[in-house]
């Protein structure tokens, strides 16, 4: 029984489940490093997921769908940037409004476009895996190959893209001009200002990048995983991503690894559901597992986590 | 000169205060509805028809009122009741600088407690059982807020994440309770119907002379109004309220003044949770008389409570009026959908826009503070900056 | 041709003309001191020059050509560098990262750290500003951080260097070192504007002095033409008594006794190492020291904001080592915190609410958890009158008062409580001369009425003029105890930088024996 529980697919599933979390978490990291809190990651994922499906259905081109998801995330994040950077509004309030707006707008447009509430129509083909190597056969070698194939070569493009983004963002944050200035913005925006760095522009770009990444995360959910948009389908992933960012100590690589942990909890939850006849635990308990894990991680870890000093504080010039 | 100037400072403050407390929120609502109209129009539907239907659905019509039929009013008040409790919950948190974004979880725990105690205490007379159930639900809500509160106080885990996680955990926990231990024999996804002895009486039962036909408005609304005044009094006149406000404004100064940040945080978030728990209880005892599984629901009263509190600028008494507004929007949404074929989701969009405009008002507040400061400076109370 | 010239600069804040037609000339290779008390408009003027504030009128010329400086970037491009009073350093970044920030040597956006580091070391050796380029700024002393700031300006190619109150946080010895650096910079062809309110610095280093008061230039002179008394008269606009008159102290019984106290700082490093001291009734004990040598932690431990790891604190014989702030307040400790806006006041509360902070749950202001508004308001009116807080009403929010009035409000509350011990940290920071005099008079009045007073200040003059005994702190220990008669700036400064007693003043006692000596 345990052999059929811990299959290579379980670990592959963990990486798949981690992908939307990681993309949003890296977005959250970049955003918070610039000094802006983004609790609207949830809403940005939602509009990304929704418009990815809408445009794919309308154009029959899944690439355009991915592009639309990114654009939708960026547009929503532009509102957040305007509110928190230009209007100097409370960033958590702005984020809350955007989360509700995203939920309302997707639900509203769903009925306008498809005439029924609850879910959109499904897309014909979800994006398939990048590689397609033959597997099968018996023997140790075949088993090893199955594991490698499942864990390394079984993924859709955005899953690989997320890993590349994590590595590139990690490197860029600590080796490039962009990264140095970003880190300065969230720690001491006035110091950045006095050496001629444009604080507002820097924060705008960081918020927009986080919107693009959250939109891409939404595209991964609908266009690569599910194939249909259903109401409020992110189920708090935006908030889990924020926790992953904290657990990852405000670094892109850390965010990815923390997302992997939460992704594994999700994969475990799904796997356990199929073993319900054996384990005899109500399904709701599995469903709650990732959320419980987040709380435990935060409880055990928070005391030592220190975020950017100026995060959440609007910058005023004079 | 100084006396007239002082008078003008005070007068200006009153005028500004009035504008600030009512003007900006009202303006926000109007702006939000205008943008909502644009969205409705752009979707090929008729905004005037939609809002007309909404008004009718929320308030009824004069001919009905003449006959003593206040069903629509009753719906509005009925919808406003849990929103008022939830709004008070969020507002109390906001005053301590805590964002109880997961109030919906505490609300669900309050609901399930009411659904359970309502069954257990069915044999008692209502005057005994109803207060016991309300207290039980408040305690359940407080308990659900307790762990996030402790985590905030002890390790600084942000309540926006932890209460949100607890909201999801609460959703699945209550879903399981409804599906298994408290399952209704007759159907799925709901608890058994409660005995009439624990129902909160509706207005037509309380004031049969005025309400000649049945309405959904129930005693819970009266309790919410009384509670709003109590919360206001606690914040304004007690040492607990003083501590909550001090910590909310400037925790470092509060700590220096002998107020424990950790204790105040725990009290404030638990009181917020208790108020959210009451929202759930009033919905179970007053409206549904049982609890439904809400796993499929996209949002809940707890989330709308955020908008209610923000629109009321966290003033407990203003929360009641803010709740009535959102109650009306919610009560009229059904009629709007029927008559104008506009999705009730437009209400959510309007709600988000209202939060946005009220939030953006910080800019206006800042401007007003500057004016007050300038008035003081002219009086010579301020040195050269 | 002057390298920098300002003509008729005007800057208006709501209700205040911070700069009113200010003109200033800086020649190549010159050190001009811009002298004035807090609030005279010196920093505002230089923030205008540096592009941080837009002027409402006036013209700026660099090398004789009119320029329009809208952002710091413009200023830097023109060769203007500024070292701000509050350092503009990112604590989490390294020295090199801070210096290159905004002007990073890079290829295709990738920072060339090797060339950056070598440029930094070149500058560092050339000007004698030794720093470790790879150390995190958070781990540097204040003096070192200032070096990083100067290096940053030089790295950006500054020809004009503006130093805003550069000595506020330094020891007398460090001040001398800094002025040595400034002279060598001038020798290399730089021109310097030194913003200060300290007269001796002006006399010591400046070629020319421009004095500002109330947003205007009220005079210009050279150190050779005037003396400190003349400068003070120009600066304040009237004759100033440079020292405070006070009667000799009559110390009574021991009020505060700190014994072998050890405390950790926010980074969990040892901030206090077995420190012992006593404060008796009717005396002012002054704590001198460079910022960051444990003074803050000492104050926080006494008032209950920080938990000691070992040792004891007692007040009139009652143990308050582990007491929380509400318990220390009850025991008779009042606290004027160093940052009145952060620790001292709730700016969104009105004056009455602020005046009850600390006593909010005690009779007569509250009973059984319910507050008594009328008593609170009556007391507030009395205290506001007593301490001359200028306000139209007790309903005004504290945030709308000026700095001086805010400080009076804090004093009114803390002294109005009639404590046994007053712990006052930086009680005159950022105040003008009038307000400083008021605060000093009140502190001495409290001493004469028999209160024990522990005064912590960065201002050596303040420590020397108010204290009956002076303790110098260095690295979490009492490096020396001096009586007010034997203390002078040189001697205190010597101990502030860790001077040992061997070649120092003969009069200090070892820290561990202070408690016994004082208690007897």
Q: Is C111 on the interface with A (CB under 8 A)?
A: yes
Please check the confidence at residue B382 and state whether its pLDDT lies above 60.
no
Q: What is the pLDDT of residues B225-249, one digit of tens each?
A: 999 999 999 999 999 999 999 999 9
Residue C240 binned pLDDT confidence (cut-offs 50, 70, 90): low
Q: How many CB atoms lie within 10 A of CB B290?
A: 20
Give B252 to chain A, closest Cα distance, Å: 16
Q: What is the pLDDT of residues C302-317, one digit of tens each?
A: 999 999 999 999 999 9
Q: Cβ separation of C103 and A184 shorter than 8 Å? A: no
Q: What is the DSSP letter of C93?
A: S
Residue A147 domain-assigned?
A: yes
DSSP C443-484: HHHHHHTT-EEEEE-S-HHHHHHH-SEEEEEETTEEEEEEET
Q: Cβ separation of B360 and A239 shorter than 8 Å? A: no
Long-range residue pairs from B44-53, CB within 8 A, at least 24 positions apart, any chain: B44/A112, B45/B340, B45/B341, B45/B342, B46/B340, B49/B339, B49/B340, B50/B336, B50/B339, B50/B340, B50/B342, B50/B346, B51/B336, B52/B339, B52/B340, B53/B332, B53/B335, B53/B336, B53/B338, B53/B339, B53/B340
**What fold, for C4-236?**
Rossmann fold (3.40.50)
What pLDDT is stored for residue B6 in this prediction? 44
Residue B211 binned pLDDT confidence (cut-offs 50, 70, 90): confident
Q: Cβ separation of A291 and B307 shorter than 8 Å? A: no
Phi, psi of B200 (to 5 degrees): -75, 125
CB A194 within 8 A of CB C72: yes
C261 beta partners: C275
* Residue in C348, C361, C402 closest to B382 by CB: C402
Q: What is the pLDDT of residues A12-32, one digit of tens each?
A: 999 999 999 999 999 999 999
Which is higher by pLDDT, B202 or A306? Answer: B202
3-state secondary structure of B368: helix
CB contact set of B356 (below 8 Å; sequence gap of 6+): A83, A94, A97, A101, B28, B32
Contact residues on chain A for C152, CB-CB shorter than 8 A:
195
Lowest mean pLDDT segment, chosen from A259-268, B338-347, C233-242, C419-428: C233-242
Q: How far apart are CA C75 and CA A9, in angstroms?
A: 60
What pLDDT is stored for residue C504 in this prediction? 41
* Tally of residues, chain C: 520
* Residue in B101, B162, B175 closest to A96 by CB: B101
Q: How many CB atoms lie within 10 A of CB B242?
A: 29
Residue B385 binned pLDDT confidence (cut-offs 50, 70, 90): very low
What pLDDT is stored for residue C513 in this prediction? 34
Contact residues on chain C for B6, CB-CB shorter than 8 A:
392-393
Largest CA distance in chain B: 79
B235 beta partners: none
Q: Cβ separation of C399 and B369 shorter than 8 Å? A: yes
Mean pLDDT (chain B) is 87
Please check the confidence at residue C318 and state whether its pLDDT lies above 50.
yes
Residue A20 domain-assigned?
A: yes
Q: How far apart are CA C92 and CA C135, in angstroms?
A: 10
Q: Is A174 on the interface with B (CB under 8 A)?
A: no
Q: Cβ separation of C370 and B384 shorter than 8 Å? A: no
CB A41 within 8 A of CB A242: yes
* Residue in A93, A100, A303 closest to B351 by CB: A100
Give A60 to chain C, closest Cα distance, Å: 38
Q: Is B166 on the interface with A (CB under 8 A)?
A: yes
Q: How many CB atoms lie within 10 A of CB B25?
A: 22
Residue B167: which H helix or E strand, with range?
helix B159-179
CATH number at residue A163: 1.10.3470
Mean pLDDT (chain C) is 89
Torsion of CA C336, C340, C342, C347, to 10 degrees: 120
Long-range residue pairs from B130-133, CB within 8 A, at least 24 positions apart, any chain: B130/B198, B130/B200, B130/B285, B133/B198, B133/B281, B133/B285
Q: What is the pLDDT of residues B320-360, one digit of tens each?
A: 999 999 999 999 998 998 898 898 899 999 999 998 888 88
Structural tokens at position B205: 């039962």
Contact residues on chain B for A291, CB-CB shorter than 8 A:
165-166, 168-169, 172
Give the Å distances, CA to CA, from C508 to B238, C457, C484.
51, 20, 12
C483 beta partners: C469
CB contact set of A128 (below 8 Å; sequence gap of 6+): A156
Contact residues on chain A for C46, CB-CB shorter than 8 A:
none
Q: Cβ separation of C39 and B384 shorter than 8 Å? A: yes
CB A192 within 8 A of CB C71: no
Identify the closest residue of chain B to C12 by CA–CA distance.
B385
Number of domains in chain A: 1
Tell me what the mean pLDDT of segment C9-28 comes to.
Answer: 89
Q: How far apart are CA A94 and CA A81, in angstroms?
A: 9
Q: How far apart are CA A221 and CA A212, in angstroms?
A: 14
Give C90 to chain A, closest Cα distance, Å: 6
Residue B17 binned pLDDT confidence (cut-offs 50, 70, 90): low
What pLDDT is stored for residue B15 in this prediction? 65
CATH of region C243-332+419-520: 3.40.50.300
Give B82 to chain C, closest Cα distance, Å: 29
* pLDDT over 90 percentage in chain A: 72
3-state secondary structure of C125: helix
Tokens 């008061």 sit on residue? C213
Alpha helices, H only, B207-300: 219-237, 239-249, 251-256, 261-282
Q: What is the pLDDT of residues C374-384, one digit of tens each?
A: 999 999 999 99
Tell me what the mean pLDDT of segment C337-341 comes to.
Answer: 90
Q: Closest by alpha carbon to C258, among C66, C452, C499, C31?
A: C452
Please check the confidence at residue B210 and state whether its pLDDT lies above 80.
yes
* Residue in A196, A317, A318 closest to C102 by CB: A196
Q: Is A306 on the interface with C (CB under 8 A)?
A: no
Tokens 């007239």 sit on residue? B4
Structural tokens at position C351: 């004056």
* C contact test, residue of A188, A192, A195 with most C CBs within 10 A: A195
Q: What is the DSSP letter of C439?
A: H
Residue B303 binned pLDDT confidence (cut-offs 50, 70, 90): confident
What pLDDT is stored for residue A228 in this prediction? 95
Q: Cβ separation of C90 and A187 shorter than 8 Å? A: yes
* Helix, strand, coil percent values for chain B (each to nearest 5): 75, 0, 20
Residue A317 domain-assigned?
A: no
Q: How far apart are CA B303 and CA B279, in angstroms?
A: 12
* Residue in B257, B378, B383 closest to C357 by CB: B257
Q: Cβ separation of C102 and A197 shorter than 8 Å? A: yes
Structural tokens at position A108: 């509203």
What pLDDT is stored for residue C506 in this prediction? 38
- Chains in touch with B (≥3 Cβ pairs < 8 A): A, C
Lowest mean pLDDT segment, chosen from A72-86, A265-279, C112-126, C151-165: A265-279
Question: Highest-confidence range of A115-119, A180-184, C361-365, by mean pLDDT?
Answer: A180-184
Please check the confidence at residue C501 and state whether its pLDDT lies above 90.
no
* Residue in C52, C97, C106 closest to A194 by CB: C52
3-state secondary structure of C153: helix
Please check the confidence at residue B186 and state whether its pLDDT lies above 90.
no
Q: Is C127 on the interface with B (CB under 8 A)?
A: no
Q: Is C67 on the interface with B (CB under 8 A)?
A: no
Residue A251: which H helix or E strand, with range?
none
3-class DSSP string for C66-81: EECCCCHHHHHHCCEE
Residue C140 binned pLDDT confidence (cut-offs 50, 70, 90): confident
Contact residues on chain A for C73, CB-CB shorter than 8 A:
196
pTM of the model: 0.88
* pLDDT over 90 percentage in chain C: 65
Q: Is A306 on the interface with B (CB under 8 A)?
A: no
Contact residues on chain B for C346, CB-CB shorter than 8 A:
245-246, 249-250, 253-254
Tokens 């000339």 sit on residue? C25
Q: How many CB pairs under 8 A join A and C?
A: 72
- Chains in touch with C (≥3 Cβ pairs < 8 A): A, B
Structural tokens at position A299: 């409880």
Structural tokens at position A219: 């595209």
* A contact test, residue of B146, B169, B180, B307 with most A CBs within 10 A: B169
Q: Closest by alpha carbon to C162, among C250, C249, C45?
A: C45
Q: Closest by alpha carbon to C402, among A174, B37, A194, B374?
A: B374
Q: Cβ separation of B298 and A232 shorter than 8 Å? A: yes
Structural tokens at position C350: 């009105």
Residue A302 binned pLDDT confidence (cut-offs 50, 70, 90): low
* Domain ranges, ordered by start, for chain C: 4-236, 243-332+419-520, 346-418
Q: What is the DSSP letter of A82?
A: I
Distance from first CA to last CA of chain C, Å, rounded? Answer: 68
Q: Cβ separation of B359 and A94 shorter than 8 Å? A: yes
Q: Is A303 on the interface with C (CB under 8 A)?
A: no
Residue C11: which H helix or E strand, with range?
strand C4-13
Q: Closest by alpha carbon to A198, among B360, C74, C94?
A: C74
- Residue span of the structural domain in which A115 resides: 2-304
């Amino acid at each position: 029984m345990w052999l059929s529980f811990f299959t290579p697919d379980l670990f592959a599933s963990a990486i798949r489940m981690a992908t939307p979390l990681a993309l949003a978490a890296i977005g959250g990291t970049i955003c918070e490093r610039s000094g802006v809190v983004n609790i609207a990651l949830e809403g940005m994922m939602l509009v990304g997921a929704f418009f990815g499906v809408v445009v794919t259905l309308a154009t029959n081109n899944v690439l355009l769908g991915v592009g639309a998801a990114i654009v939708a995330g960026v547009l929503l994040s532009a509102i957040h940037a305007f509110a928190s950077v230009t209007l100097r509004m409370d960033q958590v309030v702005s984020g809350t409004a955007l989360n509700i707006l995203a939920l309302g707008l997707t639900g509203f447009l769903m009925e306008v476009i498809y005439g029924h509430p609850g879910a959109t129509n499904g897309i014909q083909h979800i994006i398939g895996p990048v590689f397609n190597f033959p597997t099968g056969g018996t023997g140790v070698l075949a088993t090893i190959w199955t594991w490698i194939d499942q864990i390394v070569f079984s993924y859709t493009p955005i899953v690989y893209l997320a890993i590349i983004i994590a590595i590139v963002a990690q490197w860029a944050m600590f080796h490039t001009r962009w990264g140095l200035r970003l880190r300065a913005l969230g720690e001491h925006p006035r110091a950045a200002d006095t050496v001629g760095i444009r604080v507002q522009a820097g924060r705008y770009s960081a918020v927009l990048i986080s919107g693009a990444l959250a939109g891409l995360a939404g595209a991964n959910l609908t266009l690569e995983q599910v194939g249909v948009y259903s109401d409020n389908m992110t189920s708090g992933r935006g908030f889990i991503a924020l926790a992953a960012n904290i657990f990852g100590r405000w670094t892109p690589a850390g965010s990815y690894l923390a997302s992997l942990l939460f992704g594994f909890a999700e994969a475990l939850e799904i796997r356990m559901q199929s073993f319900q006849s054996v384990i005899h635990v109500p399904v709701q308990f599995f469903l709650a597992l990732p959320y419980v894990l987040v709380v435990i991680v935060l409880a055990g870890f928070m005391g030592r986590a220190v975020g950017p000093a100026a995060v959440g504080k609007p910058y005023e010039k004079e | 000169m100084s006396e007239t100037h002082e008078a003008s400072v005070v007068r200006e403050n009153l005028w500004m205060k009035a504008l600030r407390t009512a003007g900006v929120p009202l303006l926000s609502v109007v702006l939000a509805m205008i943008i909502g109209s644009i969205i409705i129009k752009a979707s090929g539907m008729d905004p005037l028809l939609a809002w007309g239907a909404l008004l009718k659905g929320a308030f009824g019509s004069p001919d009905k009122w003449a006959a003593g039929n206040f069903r629509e009013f009753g719906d509005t008040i009925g919808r406003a009741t849990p929103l008022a409790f939830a709004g008070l919950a969020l507002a109390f948190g906001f005053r301590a600088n805590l964002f109880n974004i997961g109030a919906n979880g505490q609300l669900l725990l309050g609901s399930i407690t009411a659904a359970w105690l309502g069954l257990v205490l069915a044999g008692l007379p209502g005057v005994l059982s109803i207060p016991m159930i309300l207290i039980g639900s408040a305690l359940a809500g407080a308990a659900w807020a307790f762990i996030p509160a402790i985590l905030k106080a002890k390790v600084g885990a942000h309540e926006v994440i932890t209460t949100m996680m607890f909201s999801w955990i609460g959703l699945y926990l209550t879903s399981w309770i409804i599906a298994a231990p408290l399952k209704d024999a007759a159907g799925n996804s709901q608890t058994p119907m409660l005995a009439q002895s624990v129902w909160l009486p509706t207005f037509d039962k309380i004031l049969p002379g005025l309400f000649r036909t049945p309405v959904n408005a129930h005693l819970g609304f009266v309790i919410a109004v009384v509670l709003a005044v109590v919360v206001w009094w606690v914040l304004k006149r007690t040492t607990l309220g003083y501590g909550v406000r001090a910590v909310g404004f400037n925790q470092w100064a509060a700590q220096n003044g002998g107020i424990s940040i950790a204790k105040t945080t725990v009290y404030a978030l638990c009181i917020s949770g208790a108020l959210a728990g009451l929202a759930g209880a009033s919905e179970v005892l007053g409206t549904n008389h049982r609890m439904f599984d809400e796993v499929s629901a996209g949002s809940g009263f707890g989330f709308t409570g955020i908008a209610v509190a923000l629109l009321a600028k966290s003033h407990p008494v203003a929360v009641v009026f803010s709740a009535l507004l959102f109650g009306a929007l919610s009560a009229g949404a059904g009629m709007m959908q029927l008559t104008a074929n506009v999705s009730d989701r437009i209400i959510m969009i309007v709600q988000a826009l209202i939060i946005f405009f009220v939030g953006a008002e910080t800019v206006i507040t800042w401007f007003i503070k500057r004016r007050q400061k300038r008035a003081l400076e002219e009086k010579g109370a301020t040195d050269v900056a | 041709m002057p390298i920098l010239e300002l003509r008729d600069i005007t800057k208006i804040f709501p209700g205040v003309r911070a700069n009113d037609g200010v003109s200033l000339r800086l020649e190549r290779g010159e050190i001009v001191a811009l002298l004035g008390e807090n609030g005279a408009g010196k920093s505002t003027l230089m923030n205008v020059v540096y592009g941080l504030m837009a002027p409402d009128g006036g013209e700026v010329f660099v090398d004789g050509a009119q320029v329009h400086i809208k952002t710091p970037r413009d200023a830097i491009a023109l060769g203007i560098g500024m070292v701000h009073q509050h350092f503009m350093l990112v604590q989490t970044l390294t020295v090199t990262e801070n210096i290159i920030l905004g002007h990073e040597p890079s290829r295709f956006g990738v920072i060339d750290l090797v060339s950056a580091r070598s440029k930094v070391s070149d500058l560092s050796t050339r000007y004698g500003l030794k720093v470790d380029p790879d150390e995190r700024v958070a781990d540097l002393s204040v003096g070192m951080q200032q070096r990083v700031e100067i290096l940053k300006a030089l790295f950006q190619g500054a020809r004009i260097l503006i130093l805003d109150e550069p000595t506020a946080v330094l020891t007398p010895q460090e001040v001398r070192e800094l002025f040595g650096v400034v002279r060598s910079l001038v020798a290399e062809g730089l021109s310097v504007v030194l913003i200060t309110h300290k007269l001796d610095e002006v006399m010591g280093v400046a070629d020319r002095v421009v004095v500002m008061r109330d947003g205007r230039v009220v005079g210009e002179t050279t150190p050779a033409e005037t003396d400190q008394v003349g400068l003070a008269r120009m600066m304040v606009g009237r004759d100033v008594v440079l020292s405070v008159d006070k009667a000799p102290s009559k110390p009574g019984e021991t009020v505060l006794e700190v014994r072998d106290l050890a405390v950790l700082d926010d980074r969990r490093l040892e901030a206090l190492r077995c420190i012992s001291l006593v404060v008796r009734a009717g005396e002012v004990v002054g704590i001198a020291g460079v910022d960051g040598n444990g003074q803050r932690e000492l104050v926080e431990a006494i008032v209950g904001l920080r938990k000691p790891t070992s040792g004891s604190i007692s007040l009139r014989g009652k143990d308050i080592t582990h007491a929380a702030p509400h318990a220390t307040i009850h025991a008779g400790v009042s606290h004027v915190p160093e940052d009145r806006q952060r620790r001292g006041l709730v700016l969104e509360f009105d004056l009455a609410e602020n005046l009850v902070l600390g006593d909010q749950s005690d009779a007569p202001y509250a009973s059984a958890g319910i507050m008594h508004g009328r008593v609170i308001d009556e007391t507030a009116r009395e205290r506001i009158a007593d301490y001359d807080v200028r306000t139209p009403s007790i309903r005004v929010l504290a945030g709308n008062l000026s700095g001086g009035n805010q400080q009076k409000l804090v004093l009114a509350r803390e002294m109005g409580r009639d404590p046994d011990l007053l712990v006052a940290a930086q009680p005159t920071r950022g105040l003008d001369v009038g307000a400083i005099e008021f605060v000093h008079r009140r502190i001495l009045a409290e001493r004469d009425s028999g209160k024990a007073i522990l005064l912590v200040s960065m201002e050596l003059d303040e420590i020397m003029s108010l204290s009956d005994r002076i303790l110098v702190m260095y690295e979490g220990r009492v490096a020396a105890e001096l009586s007010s008669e034997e203390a002078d700036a040189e001697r205190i400064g010597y101990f502030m930088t860790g001077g040992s007693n061997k070649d120092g003043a003969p009069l200090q006692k070892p820290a561990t024996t202070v408690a016994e000596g004082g208690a007897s």
